[in-house]
Amino acid sequence: MSGIDQALWDIAGKAMGWPVFKLLGGKVREKVRCYIRSGPEFFGIPIEEAAQLTLEMGFDAFKSGHNPTPVPYNGRKHVDTVVEEFRLLREVMGPDVALMVDFGGPFHPKNAHAMVEGLEPLKMHSMEEPVNMETVEPTLRLKRDFPGVPIAMGERLLTRWDCRPWFEQRAIDTCRSTSAMSAASAR
């Protein structure tokens, strides 16, 4: 759906001879902060080396997924491994780098709570999808227990109406749905 939405904006821009950003209301900033999305699956190197390479390339923001799931599954071990990995990243990258994690929604609410609690002292820039997005309530609990932790959701939300309950209940700080944001920007 988002691919079709983006294609339609592109077609409209080409028909008018305008870049899409003008159709959406014009330029709103001079610079956009970029980040490296990394992890062993992207660079094929240990995460701390990827972090160091990110700094050498001049980036000041870094996003990584969570570690592979332990087999057999042990929720507490998974939490401890992820928290330790991000402590190492914070140590390597320093306090001024925007550090982000994309969990992908795999954690039981109890483990997600332990995860956010363990990562909170690291001053994360955002934590994306710590729990499954089927209902708002588990994310809302995290937001209530950790009001200073920026929580992002939305890759699975397709329209602005899908995002609406999350914002109305103040369960998230950022919605990452391309289609929903395009539609909201177009109003």
pLDDT, one tens digit per residue, over 21-67 is 999 999 888 988 898 887 555 567 888 888 888 899 999 999 988 76
| Pairwise pLDDT comparison (78 vs 184), residue with the higher score | 78
The CATH number of whichever domain residue 53 belongs to comes to 3.20.20.120
176 in a domain, yes or no? no
d(CA 41, CA 26): 36
Q: Flag whether 158 is in a domain.
A: no
pLDDT, tens digit, for every residue of 16-25? 999 999 999 9
Residue 179 within any structural domain of the chain: no
**How far is it, in rounded angstroms, from Cα 62 to Cα 57?**
12
pLDDT, tens digit, for every residue of 101-158?
A: 988 887 889 999 999 999 999 999 999 999 988 889 999 999 999 999 999 987 777 7
Judged against a pLDDT cut of 90, whether residue 12 lies above it is answered with yes
Residue 16 lies in a domain: no
Query: Of 139, 84, 136, which Cα lies nearest the Cα of 107?
Result: 139
- Whether residue 39 lies inside any domain: the answer is yes
Domain count across the chain: 1
- Please check whether residue 69 lies inside any domain of the structure: yes
The answer as to whether 104 is a domain residue is yes
Exposure of 45 by Cβ count < 10 A (0-12 exposed, 13-18 middle, 19+ buried)? middle
Helix (H) or strand (E) holding 21: helix 20-23
Domain span including residue 36: 30-153
- Res 177: pLDDT: 63
Could you tell me if residue 187 is inside a domain? no
pTM summary value:
0.77
Question: pLDDT tier at 180 (50, 70, 90 boundaries)?
Answer: very low
The Cα–Cα gap between 166 and 154 comes to 9
Q: What span, in angstroms and rounded, lies between the C-alpha atoms of 45 and 85?
A: 14
Q: Is the pLDDT of residue 159 over 70?
A: yes
